[in-house]
Structure 1
Amino acid sequence: MTTEYSGTGDPARSLALLWRTRERPTRRGRPDLTVDRIVHAAIDLADTEGLSALSMRRVAEHLGVGTMSLYTHVPGKGELLDVMVDTVYGETSDPPVLPDGDWRARLAHVAHTNWNRYLRHPWLLQVATTRPPLGPHTIAKYEAELRAVEGIGLTDLEMDAVVTLVNGYVHGAVRGAVEAAQAAGRTGMTDEQWWYAHAPYLETALDPRRYPTAARVGTTAGEEYGGTTDPTQAFAFGLDRILDGIAVLVAGRPDAAPPAAGR
């Protein structure tokens, strides 16, 4: 569930921080404290304790400085959050590098890059970016994602829509993987332990004569995945279906790109 929104800080101050047009320590500022140190401390805090733990006070404690020292460099939490998001967007490469090959391989690379970023930084799922932080890494990310479908016959609006579709799919699909990864730690019970505890009751409640399809498919899936689902497998299956749909759109264009190898 979204708990924060990007783009809530002062626009002039956020953009100055994002593009580092003004590193603004005053004479009273600590020489060892920089925007980059503050931002990486905030990311570490959000990674380990979640976005709900993020505050200027907690970041200051993480750095071992007084809270007011941060305000010499970062105006507030809104601006800090924008720079945090932009910073993790730039972790892979700047500018992002796409693999050689057809558009399908490039879009798959885009999807997996975003999937892995969410797994490294689950707090990103709680940040609404409909008003994106317009920093260098955010724009480089968008540029690279558009280049994945450049020259394959789509209009500019369709290119934007395809990128939005893929990113939206990843955002939804990765929630299951994050929740599965966090479940054991937060509940104190592994998936296997959970199933073992519920199995005797399910055998009584799940009557295959009343729910024949659910019993058959559920049993098959459970045996395959060792649980209710395999988020990674589900992600790969869904991504292939998304790419299949985009292939239909591309094939309908008069100047369509050649079909993907093996498709």
Structure 2
Amino acid sequence: MSSKDSATTTSGSGDIRRSLDLLWGTGERATRGPKPALTLDRIVEAAIELADREGIAAVSMRRLSTELGTGTMSLYRYVPGKAELLDLMLDKVQGEAVPEGEAVPGTWRGCVEGMARGHAALYRAHPWLLKVNHGRTVLGPSAMRSFEVVIAPLRTMGLSDPELLSVILTVQNWVTGHIRMEVDTVEATQETGMSDEEFWGSQQPFLERAMLSGDFPQMASLSEDTFSYEYDHFEFGLRRLVDGFAALVEERAASGDGGGRTSACEDE
């Protein structure tokens, strides 16, 4: 297996210029040879479908050629290898978080909530994203557009531009952590064949003895519904996150320090 067919899961780990050429459509296109039987979009879509079904580790140029019913070497006419393919996959799915033509809420509150729910939906639809190292993101059209559409509403917060970026990162990182817990729970069930109810039920006799021992009075005092699956921890956390941003917005508005941007008073 060549290095091009390696199981890399780090964005931006391939030929950055080639990834950017493919993302932005600036690369040279072949003008000779037989008419291509595939398209770059179809290859990327097939890779995403495979990753959705079997995880990102299952995606290789060899496996993808089998999925598409073509020779492995023919794929290299479109994309150099898996590292660059991964960059294209990431930008492609990023477009789902901000669908073309869909209005973004004009208030910063609506924008933050929309970002959080959109990011959560993206990771739930494509759990393999949690296995990818996003430390170095190659910025393609979808990634750029996702930033473009939220900047205007977020600027009504009256914060500096670095702070606006921090708002975006805070929301994304919080959502990623929450969804990771969801996905890990699902994967644990699939890998062990044991449901959550069975897993915690097997520990119940030991936990009951621990609670009766008197060594854990605070844990023993918790209500029976403390760990209920019905409680919406995502919405609770999102509300508190927005409330925290609102406190900063009000503080800046009261002090008159708006970071050089429009005051958020009109958004309150």
**TM-score normalised to structure 1 length:** 0.87
Match of residue 251 from structure 1: 250
Aligned match for 1:64, one of 60, 69, 83: 69
Aligned to 1:98: 104
- Is the Cα–Cα contact under 8 Å of residues 29 and 72 in structure 1 kept in the other structure? no
Q: 1:29 to 1:5 in 2, by over 3 A?
A: farther
Q: What amino acid does structure 2 have at the position aligned with 1:201?
A: F
1:109 pairs with 2:114: yes
List gaps (5 residues or longer) in structure 1: none
| Aligned pairs for 1:194-209 within 5 A | 194-207=199-212, 209=214
Q: In the alignment, which residue of structure 2 is the partner of 1:46?
A: 51
Alignment match, 1:187: 192
| Matched residue, 1:81 | 86
The Cα of 1:26 is off from its aligned counterpart by 6.0
1:237 is matched with which residue?
236
Report deviation, 1:14.
Answer: 0.6
Moved more, 212-221 or 166-175: 212-221
2:11 and 2:134 in contact (8 A); partners too: yes
Q: Which amino acid aligns with 2:247?
A: V
Cα contact 1:17–1:23 (8 A) shared by 2: no
Q: Would the alpha carbon gap of residues 40 and 12 (structure 1) be closer, same or farther in structure 2, given more than 3 Å must change?
A: same
Q: Deviation at 1:56?
A: 0.9
Instruction: Using the aligned pairs only, state the percent identity.
Output: 43
Residue 195 to residue 258, structure 1, CA distance change in 2 (3 Å): same
Instruction: Sort the Cα spacing of 1:148 and 1:129 in 2 relative to 1 into closer, same or farther, 3 A.
Output: farther
Work out the number of aligned pairs and report it.
Answer: 252
What is the deviation of 1:23?
A: 6.8
C-alpha deviation, 1:69, in angstroms: 0.9
Residue matched to 2:229: 225
**Partner AA of 2:19 in structure 1:** S
Are the aligned partners of 2:94 and 2:143 in contact in 1 as well (CA < 8 Å)? yes
What is the TM-score with the length of structure 2 in the denominator?
0.85
User: How big is the alpha-carbon RMSD for the aligned residues of Structure 1 and Structure 2?
Assistant: 2.2
Distance 1:220 1:260, change over 3 A: farther
Q: 1:111 to 1:195 in 2, by over 3 A?
A: same
Please say if residues 108 and 156 of structure 2, whose CA atoms lie closer than 8 Å, have aligned partners that are also in contact.
no
CA distance in 2, matches of 1:205, 1:26: 73
